[in-house]
Structure 1
Amino acid sequence: MSAEIRTFKASFGVSWLKAGWTVFKAQPLTFMMMYIFIVIVGLFPFILPNTIIQMACALAGPFLTVGFYNAALNSQAGKSIMLADILKPFSAKGRRLNLFRLGLYQLGVALILGVIMSLLFEPVTSAIQNHSPEQDMESVIAQIAAAISFSDIAIFVVLQSLAMMAFAYALPLVYFKEQANILNAMKQSLKVFYYNMAPLSVFGGIVALLMIASAPLSLVPLMFIMPIVYIGFFVSFQAIFAAQSSLEDNTPDQGDKHQDNIGQSGRFDA
């Protein structure tokens, strides 16, 4: 069964980030440690290039992300959280199987995108691999530039973006809304981006600017910024998939006021 999707104005992209900050500042160090833990697990395949480790880390990703979301939910409720809370989804009976299945879908899509990438950028790879040490660097760069096709780049960016959008809300839908149909959850996630393009574009634009601003500092500020982004995104999920019945007794003006409380309380009370 599909959950109802609600739409919001562009300004709510800012409100969700404000809500993320409100939750984050309750226990900033814990949320930062959770984010660092997720990054470390994500880097393991590069440190230890082993197929089994790569698959294990890829499949663990959804569990750790919803563990972070669940910690944010507990913090919204005024509960104290700890780093170990990020591992709780691994022991969530009745939900972990669907998370595992979602991880398999993500792994499959990543493999397909990898094949597409190798096919699209094969001329660039060949130009890099086949140059001789005697060649002038300028001529090598010219060969690489000539091999680059902007249409191929555009195709890959579109496919990568669609994959990210398909899984973005599918993950919390599978865990918090207990949707067992992975493909249906992915379709709903894509619909969210279609109907809420304005606030999510504002949200993503602000995040992109913050990431660019952190580049001169070796991206160190991301340890502070990204936990807020994670929480803000989860707040957007709470808002977009909130039960419509929670607003049935409100007038339109009261409903807008109720929605504005997201940025003040750090929680969307459905």
Structure 2
Amino acid sequence: MSIELRVFKADAGVKWFKAGWLIFKTQPLTFIFMHLFIGIVGLLSLFLPFLQIIAALATPFLTAGFYQAVLTKQQGGKIMLADILKPFSAKGNRLGLLRLALYQMAAGVLMALLANGLFAEAVAIMSDPNVDPNIALQQVIDSISMANMALFLIAISFYLTAFAYAVPLVYFNQQKRIFEVLKSSLMVFYHNVAALSVYGAICAVFMVISAFLTFIPLLVLMPICYISFFVSYQAIFMPVVPPAQSEPTEPEQHNDTGRFDA
């Protein structure tokens, strides 16, 4: 049985982001620390290579924990930082998240191999300690063809969109067929390209503004983006959405009004 999704108009992207802000401000510090915790786990794997596999396996669980906290707030509950660890002990969903993590790790390895193959000359230049730093950048630019760059951007776009909604689909919808999950996540970006483009543009604009403010506003912006992205998942995929959060729309292939009451 295929996974049904709903289709929204462009203005839904604004409503999703607004809903994310409204949820965030109910317990801002908790959401900030939750996001920081996820970020720290990722950074540790960069500095301590032996933690890379552990971090890769843990990330879907931590993301699911963050989303579960959002759902708890929508239902009027209280959350704390430790709630982000709940998926590790959630019976019935752990195997699905573990399988998803393994699939994502495999896809990440394939992306790394593709990058090494497409940009082997550039990697060799950057790895050569004898190359003059003043001319290394120009040599790297000259070694990269537009065709290879386009191919890599297409591949990375497929990778990101395929896994974008994978965690909530596995954890909340309890989908066990990973390839069906990845396909459904891809289809979201096809059917809801307008709404997600508006949502993405809003996030991008705020990120650019943050860059001029020493990135400190990202401590607030990134949790809001996480929350509002989960709100978009609820609107598109959840058959029953918490009251006063959204109005369901027609299943796939039928456009709706795009309404999402935050």
State if a TM-score over 0.5 links the two structures: yes
Give ranges in structure 1 of 5+ residues lacking alignment: 249-254, 264-270
User: Percent identity over the alignment?
Assistant: 48
| Superposition deviation, residue 211 in structure 1 | 1.1
Candidates 73, 76, 97, aligned match of 1:75: 73
Question: Is the 1:127–1:147 contact (alpha carbons within 8 Å) kept by the matching residues of 2?
Answer: no
Aligned residue in 2 for 1:252: none
2:183 & 2:257 partners in 1: Cα distance? 27
2:136 & 2:260 partners in 1: Cα distance? 55
**Would you say 1:15 and 2:15 are equivalent positions?**
yes
- Pair 1:247–1:123, CA change in 2 (3 A): closer
| Superposition deviation, residue 138 in structure 1 | 4.5
- Pair 1:59–1:244, CA change in 2 (3 A): closer
| Superposition deviation, residue 154 in structure 1 | 1.6
What TM-score results when the alignment is normalised by the length of structure 2? 0.90
Aligned residue in 1 for 2:184: 188
CA distances 1:171-213 after superposition (whole Å, capped 9, x unpaired): 1111100000011011011111110000001111111111111
What TM-score results when the alignment is normalised by the length of structure 1? 0.88
Aligned residue in 2 for 1:251: none
3-state SS in 1 of match to 2:17? helix
Question: Is the 2:8–2:257 contact (alpha carbons within 8 Å) kept by the matching residues of 1?
Answer: no
Question: Is the 2:119–2:144 contact (alpha carbons within 8 Å) kept by the matching residues of 1?
Answer: yes
Task: Tell me how many residue pairs correspond in the alignment.
Answer: 251
Give ranges in structure 2 of 5+ residues lacking alignment: 242-246, 250-255
- Pair 1:30–1:140, CA change in 2 (3 A): closer
3-state SS in 1 of match to 2:49? coil
Which runs of at least 4 in structure 1 moved beyond 4 Å after TM superposition? 244-248
2:103 & 2:187 partners in 1: Cα distance? 18
Root mean square deviation, CA, Å: 2.0
Aligned residue in 2 for 1:40: 40
Aligned residue in 1 for 2:63: 65
Candidates 226, 229, 233, aligned match of 1:233: 229
2:40 & 2:134 partners in 1: Cα distance? 37
| Superposition deviation, residue 79 in structure 1 | 0.2
2:147 & 2:190 partners in 1: Cα distance? 24
Aligned residue in 1 for 2:144: 148
Structure with the higher helix share, 1 or 2: 1
Aligned residue in 2 for 1:169: 165
Bigger drift between 227-236 and 41-50 goes to 41-50
| Superposition deviation, residue 74 in structure 1 | 0.2
Aligned residue in 2 for 1:268: none
Q: Which amino acid aligns with 2:21?
A: W
- Pair 1:171–1:208, CA change in 2 (3 A): same
2:31 & 2:57 partners in 1: Cα distance? 21
Larger radius of gyration: 1
Q: Which amino acid aligns with 1:181?
A: R
Q: Which amino acid aligns with 1:96?
A: R
Q: Which amino acid aligns with 1:91?
A: S
Question: Is the 1:131–1:140 contact (alpha carbons within 8 Å) kept by the matching residues of 2?
Answer: no
- Pair 1:35–1:139, CA change in 2 (3 A): closer
1:22 & 1:206 partners in 2: Cα distance? 16
| Superposition deviation, residue 139 in structure 1 | 3.8
| Superposition deviation, residue 150 in structure 1 | 2.1
Aligned residue in 2 for 1:121: 119
Aligned residue in 1 for 2:252: none
| Superposition deviation, residue 219 in structure 1 | 1.7
2:227 & 2:116 partners in 1: Cα distance? 34
1:140 & 1:25 partners in 2: Cα distance? 47
Aligned residue in 1 for 2:105: 107
| Superposition deviation, residue 131 in structure 1 | 6.2
CA distances 1:94-114 after superposition (whole Å, capped 9, x unpaired): 100000000000000001100
Aligned residue in 2 for 1:215: 211
| Superposition deviation, residue 247 in structure 1 | 5.4
Question: Is the 1:117–1:156 contact (alpha carbons within 8 Å) kept by the matching residues of 2?
Answer: yes
